Amino acid sequence: MSIIQAQHIMLNDPAHVRVAYEPKYSHGSAFINGTYVDLDNAAIPMSDLGFTQADACYDVVSVSKGYFFRLEDHLERFESACTKFQLTNPYTKKQTTEILTNLVKQAGAKEAYVWWAVTRGFMPDGGDRINPNAYENRFYAFVVPYVFISNDEQRARGIDLLVSKQFIRIPPEAVDPTAKNFHWMDLKLSLFEANTANKEWSVLCDASGYLTEAPGSNIFLIKDGVLYTPDSGCLEGITRKTTLELAKEIGMPIHVERVHVEQLLNADEAFLTSTAGGIMPINTVDDTVLGGKAGPGELTTQLHNLYWTKRWDGWLGTAVDYSTPANV
C-alpha cells in the first residue's frame, strides 16, 4: 500500500478545487470583532493583549472536499480553552459556526484551514488588570486555502525527526497545553534546532524524558503492532482522537500513557498528527531509521489512507453549502 497523494488530489480533483470567489479573497477571508474583511486588509489592533502578551486561546478546524471535519469537537475544545484561561467568547457556538462558514464561502475554499481566536482585548480603562471581568474579550477568525504542513513528498518518504536537546515543552503546571494557546517559542526554536541538525521536524520531551508533543502536532509510535501516544503534557489533538478511533477500527491495541523517548528510538513506526496535515509518517528519529526500513510503516500508511478516504466520504463532516452566498 502506498501513501495517498492527498495534496495532489486537493489541488487537482474537480471535487476539491476552489469554487468561484471574489478576487479580493484570493489569499483568504477574515472576521475581526464583528466585521468581515479580506485577509490582505485584516489587521490586529497593536495593544490587544493577545498580541502583546500571548493572552489568548485559539483553534483550527479544516475543511476538505467541502466538509468541515469534527466541527463540534473543535468548538467544544475551544470553549473549554476559553474557560481554562478565563476568557469569554463573545459569540455562541452557533454564531461561531455561522462566522466560520461565511468565511469559508467567501474564500470559495473546498479545502480550507480555518483559524479563530479569542483574545483578552485591551487593558481595561482604569487599569483594573486583576479582574477578568473588566476586560472586553475580542474575537478574530480567518480562512485560507488548506495548509499542508507536511507535503505529499514528505509524507511519502517519512519525516526526519529530531528529539530536541535544547528545549523541553512548557510544563502543564505553567501553561495548560490542553487549552490551545499562543505559547509557541519552545516549539518554534526546536524547529530551528532541527534545521541546524539537518532534520525536518522536532519533538519535545518533558523534564524527565517523556514525550510531549511536536510543533503543531501530536506524536504516536507503534511497537509490535501496539499504538502508543502520550496521555499528558500535550494538546488533546482532534486528529489524535481521530487516529485513536481509526486504530480501534482496524483492531490495533492502544496505549495512551506516559511514553519515554527511548520507546520512540526503538519503535517500529511513528507518525505525527495535525489538523494541518493529517497523519504524517516519520522515517528517522535522531538518524535512527525506524523499524530498520526507510519510509512510512505499513500500519501508519493504512491509518493515513483511512483518515483521508473516510473524510472524503463525509465521515464526521459538516457540509458547506456553496450554492448560497455568505450571510454577512
SS3 at position 272: strand
- Measured from the CB atom, the residue of 234 and 290 that comes closer to ligand PLP is 234
- Measured from the CB atom, the residue of 159 and 234 that comes closer to ligand PLP is 234
Adjacent-strand bridge partners of 312:
none
235 binds ligand PLP (CB under 6 A): yes
216 binds ligand PLP (CB under 6 A): yes
- Measured from the CB atom, the residue of 28 and 295 that comes closer to ligand PLP is 28
218 binds ligand PLP (CB under 6 A): yes
Phi, psi angle pair for 276, to nearest 5°: -90, 30
238 binds ligand PLP (CB under 6 A): yes
Site string for ligand PLP, 240-259 (x = CB under 6 A): x-------------------
Distance (Å) of CA 109 to CA 20, 55, 63, 74, 275: 9, 30, 8, 19, 16
- Within a 13 Å sphere around the CA of 290, how many CA atoms are in the beta-carbon half? 32
275 binds ligand PLP (CB under 6 A): yes
Least gap, CB of 126 to ligand PLP (angstroms): 35
Phi, psi angle pair for 73, to nearest 5°: -60, -40
The one segment of 104-112, 126-134, 216-224, 260-268 that binds ligand PLP by CB under 6 A: 216-224
Distance (Å) of CA 257 to CA 1, 67, 233, 276, 316: 30, 32, 11, 24, 26
The one segment of 126-134, 155-163, 231-239, 263-271 that binds ligand PLP by CB under 6 A: 231-239
237 binds ligand PLP (CB under 6 A): yes
Q: In the window 120-139, what residues touch ligand PLP (CB under 6 A)?
A: none
Helices (H), ranges, the chain: 6-12, 49-53, 71-84, 93-107, 152-157, 185-196, 238-249, 261-265, 298-312
Residue with C-alpha cell 495593544? 47
239 binds ligand PLP (CB under 6 A): yes
Cβ contact 161:285 at 8 Å: yes
- Measured from the CB atom, the residue of 109 and 244 that comes closer to ligand PLP is 244
Q: In the window 170-199, what residues touch ligand PLP (CB under 6 A)?
A: none
Least gap, CB of 73 to ligand PLP (angstroms): 8
273 binds ligand PLP (CB under 6 A): yes
- Measured from the CB atom, the residue of 135 and 201 that comes closer to ligand PLP is 201
Least gap, CB of 8 to ligand PLP (angstroms): 22
Residues in the interface with ligand PLP (CB under 6 A) total 14
217 binds ligand PLP (CB under 6 A): yes
Q: In the window 40-79, what residues touch ligand PLP (CB under 6 A)?
A: 60
Nearest to ligand PLP by Cβ — which residue? 237
CB-based burial, 113-146: b 16+ in 10 Å, e otherwise: bbbbbbbbbebeeeeeeeeeeebebbbbbbbbbb
How far apart CA 112 and CA 92 sit, in angstroms, is: 22
Provide the grid cell at 209: 524524558
User: In this chain, which of 55, 111, 160, 213 binds ligand PLP, going by CB under 6 A?
Assistant: 213
Q: In the window 92-111, what residues touch ligand PLP (CB under 6 A)?
A: none
* Neighbour count for residue 153 (Cβ, 10 Å): 9
Least gap, CB of 84 to ligand PLP (angstroms): 15
Using N-to-C axis directions, what is the helix angle for 298-312 and 238-249, rounded to 10°?
110
Distance (Å) of CA 325 to CA 31, 105, 115, 211: 16, 7, 20, 45
Binding site for ligand PLP (CB under 6 A): 60, 213, 216-218, 234-235, 237-240, 273-275
